[in-house]
Structure formats: structure tokens, C-alpha cells
Amino acid sequence: MRGITGQQVGHARASTLINEGPMMIGYLPFPDIGTEIFALELGGFRLALRWYALAYIVGLFVGWRICAKTIGCADFWAKAGPPFLKRQLEDLFTWIVAGVIIGGRLGFVLFYQPEYYLQNPLEILMVWQGGMSFHGGFLGVVLSTLIFCRRQGVAVLPTADLLAIATPPGLFLGRVANFTNNELWGRPTDLPWGVAFPGEVAQACPGVVGVCARHPSQLYEAILEGLILGALLLFLAWRRGWLRTPGRLTGVFLLGYGSSRVFVEFFRQPDMQFVTPDNPIGYALHWGNWGITMGQSLSVPMILIGVVLILWHVLGQRKAGLPNQP
């Protein structure tokens, strides 16, 4: 089946409203704006700026601005002040960019398609072809941040709290880019906000006649992980003074992201490489008809660590005989 255009979706929707049968009655057409903003041909080489690359660039810039503003305001911090000086921020972000790219790519290779890349190792370097993992990028950022803190003699938890409040804008933009790139879409749905994603694979929905609409799970994640979690973290950091007690904001980020991802995975189409005749849903781990996806299995440790960090603070406050701060 060929990919469907917005006009074709519109025609299909009109016919769906007229004909009766097991067809999806209401859905939204996919806003097919392409994957590239612009492209240039120079001497046989093609240079293109893609929406996904722009999301990374803008996300890093917004995160850098949040960090710079937070470091520059002494009222946000305890008496000791921020964990490092503003001039050290560029060094930290250099490490973070490396961690995101290397960790994100290796995470995708190891978590999702290890057998394929073992047979085609040179393609690991072809990042421009796509294939990045948030959890791999997260581990890359953790490792690069630890290296930065050790080299600079910087406290780890306050630095982690700073990065926690700076990360959600990048998550929001990245998930929106996933949507515009027509990737990581959700499972079939008959809800009125379901989106008819184009392409043969996206339209291959067993039991559905005509156009298949799917959950825009990328936008669910953008709202939960980006907007809501980001607003909560900034409120706690800038309005409630949570940066004065290191570790709590990191705990909230881990708990918030992990919980959001586990929830959205119930609506997101699982990875096709895990689909087998006895595992049609595509669970990474399954027991009969029950199972969890790869995204859920990688998010559970984040939830547990987040809970531990929050409880560690609460119990520490009680042990010291101090009232628990809101």
C-alpha cells in the first residue's frame, strides 16, 4: 500500500462518513510538512536541515538558557550557591551534547536492534539515517555529567537538579519532531483525535477497513514529559526553593518521566522487531497475554530511583528533626 497524502485522507474521511461498516468514522489528517525545513545542493553534496535536528538544537539552547538563568540567581540556591560558575556551563553542555548523541545512538543499537547492527556494524555511525533512544541518551548524559563533575570538582546532585529542570523543553520539541517525522506513532484508535499517519506500515491495521487512525502518542509524551513535567519542575525550583535541597528535583524528574513513559506506552505502537506469532503486541518481556514493552522496562528503574531520592530527602528531614519542606 502506498503512503496516503492529506488530500487522500480527506477523501477517505468523506467516504467513511457515508459508508457504513467496520471503518473509523472520525479522525484527523496527518499534517504532512515533510521531514526537512530546507535543503541545499553543493557540488554533488546535499545539505539539509531537518525538523528533528532543529528540535535538538533549540532544545539544547533553551536548556542552556534555563541553566544560565538559574545559576545567575543566588536566591534559588542554598548559602553555598550554585554548584558551579556560569563560565563552566559551556564545558558542561559540550559533555552533554556528546552524551546525548553517543548514548542515544548506542542505546538504540543495544536496546532495540542489536542483531541487525552486529551484522551491519558500519551503520552504527550513520546517525543521519535515524535511530536514537531516549534511555540511551539519558545514560549518556548521566555518564558525561559524572565525568564533568569529577574533572571540575563539582557536586553531583545539585548539577543533576539543574539539568532536571532544563531537560523537559528538549523532550517536548523532540516528541513534536517525532510526530512531524511520522514515526513512533500509537496503536489504532477510533477516538476523534486519532491521526491517519501515512505510509504502508502505519496503515497496516488488522481488522480495520479503509483508513487507519492511530493515537498521536508522540504528542501525549510531549504534553506529559515536556509541558506538564517541565512546568512542575520550574515551579518547584523557582517558586518553592527545591534547589536548596539537592536531589529532590532529580527524583521528581525521574519519577515524572518514568511514570509518563510507562503510561503512554499503553497507547504507543510497540517496536516491530519484538513481534512474533506468540507475541503479536510486541512486548519486550511477556508472560502469556501479559507483558511490558521495552520503553516500560527501561522506565521502571527510573521510577524506582526517583522514589528513592524523594524518600531519602523526606527521611533525612525527619531524622534531623526538621519539618518537611513543601
pTM equals 0.85
CA atoms 149, 71, 94, 169: torsion sign? positive
* CB distance 213 to 195 below 8 Å: yes
Cβ neighbours for 141, distance < 8 A, ≥ 6 positions apart: 96, 99, 100, 103, 163
> Which is more confident, 301 or 39?
301
Query: Residue 46 to residues 37, 42, 232: CA-CA distances in angstroms?
Result: 13, 6, 42
Name the grid cell of 152: 571540575
Domain membership of residue 78 (yes or no) is yes
Give residue-wise pLDDT tens across range 13-53. Answer: 333 333 344 555 578 999 988 888 888 888 777 777 888 88
Domain membership of residue 232 (yes or no) is yes
Please determine, for residue 10, whether its predicted confidence score (pLDDT) is greater than 50.
no
Domain membership of residue 100 (yes or no) is yes
Domain membership of residue 215 (yes or no) is yes
Percent of the chain with pLDDT over 90: 60
Q: What is the mean pLDDT of residues 225-233?
A: 97
The reported pLDDT for the residue numbered 203 is: 92
User: 321: which DSSP letter?
Assistant: T
Say how many domains are in the chain: 1
The reported pLDDT for the residue numbered 16 is: 37
Please determine, for residue 189, whether its predicted confidence score (pLDDT) is greater than 50.
yes
Q: What is the mean pLDDT of residues 240-266?
A: 96
Please determine, for residue 71, whether its predicted confidence score (pLDDT) is greater than 80.
yes
The reported pLDDT for the residue numbered 208 is: 85
Domain membership of residue 304 (yes or no) is no
Report the candidate in 211, 157, 222, 174 with the shortest Cα–Cα distance to residue 189.
211
Q: Scan for cell 512486548, then name that residue.
A: 283
Percent of the chain with pLDDT over 70: 89
Query: Residue 132 to residues 13, 135, 294: CA-CA distances in angstroms?
Result: 34, 9, 14
pLDDT level of residue 103 (50, 70, 90 thresholds): very high
The reported pLDDT for the residue numbered 12 is: 40
Domain membership of residue 289 (yes or no) is no
Lowest-confidence segment of 137-141, 247-251, 288-292 by average pLDDT: 288-292
The reported pLDDT for the residue numbered 67 is: 96
Q: Which domain holds residue 207?
A: 6-237
Q: State whether residue 276 is helix, strand or coil.
A: strand
Domain membership of residue 126 (yes or no) is yes
Question: Dihedral (C-alpha) 279, 193, 265, 186: value to the nearest 10 degrees?
Answer: 50
Domain membership of residue 314 (yes or no) is no
